[in-house]
A and B are shown apart, each in its own frame.
Chain A
């Protein structure tokens, strides 16, 4: 059995791949939905984004746009913190098992 086949048998590896793939693709899907949701609002409901908030001139589109920007940062942050706390220890275990 070659090195990579041994790693593939490692339960830590299987857990790593399962968790990372599901989080990565889920977060990518969320980002796509958030962004293209915004673009569709811009394209089909520009006047909704132009609804004033309260009595002022600030429209609802301003916080929505800012929220898309902030969500990009937050989603990245979620992934990085998960990866640092969960995936890196798993990778260290996999590497450790291989050295033994």
Chain B
């Protein structure tokens, strides 16, 4: 087994940014080929391909393709939303973060969850009542279609692109580690399967892949956390006592540590996580797959439950790994252990492997294979959801509504969507290979920042604020988008780690720009709308009352069976 020492060094330097993103997997070394994992993974792929075939027979209309014909139940959609959100990164990243820093992992779990109630209270039902296939339907409901569609499509595509790159690079690294496959093979495999699911099965297949994976992941994580607690007589205190005894940081792992050093940075990250959730296009499109507003609202409730439960499990898994992995020489790198005398630092493959090694420790090789296969399936499912969101934006918002002015032939629209998926798939593979050795941890943070600073302000203002005008939404949304991107480039994670400028030289000290980029977006949307005296602005304001009635009652909403 070859070691790549500089990679591990990089991993250490950028732990805060890894945590920030918790959406990417930083790699390590290639493992021996793991046959039980490959066997189970082939089982998963075969099952999902059968489902894709079944779904393709039933995907005829555009509504089938984009929103599974509105035929997904609230419980199924709750699992699918949870599946979209429980990426391999949050599973391996957060349990790895708990493994290295203890309590800090919980802080991120909490941040990742608290956006969901806000989605339920303010967005889910309104979105279902006003929209059809994409959140741009809602944002442009009473505003100038063309301009707002283009803005929303930009916001969606940029968010999807950064999220997708982070996932692809993470996938390649992870699969290299878990299955012993080459990086480029792994990336092509993920990209290729994603294209098959989305082009043939559309939303129906993508949703079912997501549901199956969510069930498997919840089952696997429950088993692991249960096995850990079982070893300690179901006493968390006994688990924590053992962990503080063996961890080099001792009792410090039971309180907030160095990850959150700058309070403003913590608040800014908190804003990005909380409101970014409500602006992620691949999450928002899930509300169109259910029958009505009631099902939309229930599905977020279920999803919040699943995700919250899952994050509590990752916390236990992380502590379990401290006690069972960092103390077992089989999982440690002898060379690093010699140098650092720390089982935590010496974990083979880096801290993101904590949950994987723990699976081996509590369930043997077969369960290790199961968890590895689930991790791969997770990436595949998340990538498919992202690709579908991006493709919908291209075909529905840009092609059908902007280019064809809302008069596109349905078959053509679906065809454009499939072509867009293939294009996105190939692009994702190419970018995945280009970014192989880049630090992409900041990209998920960037995706959340853009979602919180462009998509969310435009969406929420268009639903609730009568005086919003097309010009205000357009300029404010663009300023939010630009300030988020600039803010990330000037942040320590990119300026110092990725671009290599001197430590401490980053012009903006925030890990995530949401604090100021969201402010810029909201203030400029407000100011420009208030000052807007154009003829269009009058129309925008006049349209609000009818829109508000529909958002509240659902009267006139796109029905579930529009075919």
Contact = CB atoms under 8 A, between A and B. Distances in A.
Q: Do A and B come from one complex?
A: yes
Interface in A77-95: 77, 79-80, 83-84, 88, 91, 94-95
Interface residues of B, number: 51
A8 B549 contact: yes
Given A72-B113, A76-B301, A98-B555, A24 B103 contact: no
B534 interface: no
A20 B549 contact: no
A91 to B, nearest CB: 5
A76 B555 contact: no
A51 to B, nearest CB: 8
A97 to B, nearest CB: 11
B122 interface: yes
B255 A49 contact: yes
B35 interface: no
Contact of A28 (B117, B125, B294): B117
Contacts of B266: 39, 42-43
Given A8-B549, A75-B117, A57 B308 contact: no
Interface string A40-70: 1011101101101000111101100110111
Size range of the interface on A? 35 or more
Contact of B251 (A28, A36, A57): A57
A22 B300 CA distance: 20
Given A56-B240, A58-B237, A72-B117, A50 B255 contact: yes
Given A2-B546, A38-B110, A50 B256 contact: yes
B297 A83 contact: yes
A31 B117 contact: yes
A57 B311 contact: no
A95 B300 contact: no
Given A56-B237, A69-B311, A91-B554, A42 B305 contact: no
A98 B549 CA distance: 13
Given A36-B267, A70-B308, A91-B554, A58 B236 contact: yes
Contact of B255 (A27, A47, A68, A79): A47
Contact of A68 (B110, B116, B244, B254): B110
A16 B553 contact: yes
Nearest to A12: B553
B60 interface: no
A20 B555 CA distance: 17
A68 B114 contact: yes
A97 B91 CA distance: 49
Given A4-B545, A61-B256, A80-B298, A35 B553 contact: no
B340 to A, nearest CB: 24
Contacts of A50: 251-252, 254-256
Contacts of A47: 255
A66 to B, nearest CB: 7
B279 interface: no
Contacts, number: 157
Contacts of B252: 50
Contacts of A57: 237, 240-241, 244, 251, 254
A72 B308 contact: yes
Contacts of B301: 76-77, 80
B254 A13 contact: no
A4 B549 contact: yes
B107 A65 contact: yes
B312 interface: yes
Nearest to A84: B294
A61 B254 contact: yes
B553 A58 contact: no
B267 A39 contact: yes
B505 interface: no
B263 A43 contact: yes
B434 interface: no
With most chain B CB atoms within 10 A of its CB, the pick from A32, A73, A88 is A73
Interface string B264-302: 001100100010000000000000000000100110110
A64 to B, nearest CB: 9
Interface string B200-212: 0000000000000
B109 interface: yes
Contacts of B411: none
B118 A69 contact: no
Given A20-B552, A59-B254, A79-B117, 4 more contacts: A2-B546, A8-B545, A36-B270, A75-B117
30 contacts: A2-B546, A5-B545, A7-B553, A7-B555, A8-B545, A20-B552, A27-B117, A35-B110, A39-B107, A42-B107, A43-B266, A43-B267, A46-B256, A50-B251, A50-B255, A56-B241, A58-B254, A61-B255, A62-B236, A65-B110, A69-B308, A69-B312, A70-B308, A72-B116, A76-B120, A77-B301, A79-B121, A80-B297, A84-B298, A98-B555
Interface of A: 2-5, 7-8, 13, 16-17, 20, 23-25, 27-28, 31-32, 34-36, 38-40, 42-44, 46-47, 49-50, 52, 56-59, 61-62, 65-66, 68-70, 72-73, 75-77, 79-80, 83-84, 88, 91, 94-95, 98
Interface of B: 103, 106-107, 109-111, 113-114, 116-118, 120-122, 125, 236-237, 240-241, 244, 251-252, 254-257, 260, 262-263, 266-267, 270, 274, 294, 297-298, 300-301, 304-305, 308, 311-312, 545-546, 549-550, 552-555
